[in-house]
Amino acid sequence: MNFRLVFAPLLLSGLATAQTANPFFTGDEVHEVWLTIDKADWWETLDARHRAYDNEMIEADLVWNTTKLARVGVRFKGNSSYNHPGRKKPFRIDFDKFVKDQKIGDISSLSLGNNWGDPSFVREDSFSRLVEAVGIPRPRTNYVALYVNGEYFGVYTGVERISKAFVKSGVGSKEEGTCLRPTRRAAHFRIAETIRRTIARCTS
């Protein structure tokens, strides 16, 4: 996917601001996130849906530090990163999927990248910080140690979703511009028909 079009309106504004502080993205520690999923066949369900290009989520309870969120939405994500041979699949977590307005700070959704193909675990986070250092708004990142039903799944890169919260945090609530995101995997911005079918405006 070509992210240059996503960031173009932000670059043209020339008014990037310091991003809003969020406790989930402050500090250099690895944040422990605990998911509890009651569905017995949750793995098989999410795997089957992902392979069928079905983004329907299942419910889970999330604990991070003293924060407890009930009924968050969870699903697998990724293209090549989904080829990780073990159980360390990339995840998407929507805090407000089943409970309206549920957030951590100002974010309602989080992507967990499994760093497949990056043995250093630092490429995405380092590039994100470099982009910020030269004044370009970027999704906030951190590191997450993920546990699912008590099982340790590994260290992930936590990435803020491109959304209205990102635009507000990165360039200010009064900035104007078009924020676009893909609505299915392997989407791109090159063909008009593909844009019509796969790209939606950021509305949350």
* Residue pLDDT, tens place only, 128-138: 888 888 888 88
Least confident residue range of 46-50, 78-82, 147-151, 161-165:
161-165
Q: Domain residues for 93?
A: 27-170
Query: Between residues 18 and 148, which one has the greater pLDDT?
Result: 148
User: For residue 167, how far is the Cα from the chain centroid?
Assistant: 14
- Is residue 21 in a domain? no
Least confident residue range of 38-42, 99-103, 189-193:
189-193
- Is residue 149 in a domain? yes
Tally of domains in the chain:
1
Helix (H) or strand (E) holding 49: helix 42-51
pLDDT of residue 67: 96
Query: Between residues 194 and 57, which one has the greater pLDDT?
Result: 57
pLDDT digits (tens, 9 = 90+) for 4-54: 434 333 333 344 445 667 889 887 889 999 999 999 999 999 999 999 999
Helix (H, G, I), strand (E, B) or coil at 197: helix
- Is residue 117 in a domain? yes
- Extract the tokens encoding 93: 């977590």
182-186 own/partner pairs: CB under 8 Å, 24+ apart: 182/1, 184/53, 184/55, 185/53, 185/78, 185/79, 186/1, 186/79
Which of 98, 142, 106, 147 minimizes the C-alpha distance to 124? 142
58-64/67-76 β-pairing:
antiparallel
> One-letter amino acid identity for 166?
F
- Is residue 188 in a domain? no
Separation of alpha carbons 107 and 182, rounded Å: 19
- Is residue 83 in a domain? yes
- Is residue 6 in a domain? no
- Is residue 35 in a domain? yes
Mean pLDDT is highest, among 34-48, 100-114, 133-147, 170-184, for: 34-48
Count of beta carbons in the 10 Å neighbourhood of residue 61: 14
Least confident residue range of 64-68, 102-106, 155-159, 188-192:
188-192
Beta-ladder partners of 151: 148
- Extract the tokens encoding 113: 């990248």
- Is residue 193 in a domain? no
The torsion angles phi and psi of 157, rounded to 5 degrees, stand at -95, 115
Instruction: Give the global pTM.
Output: 0.76
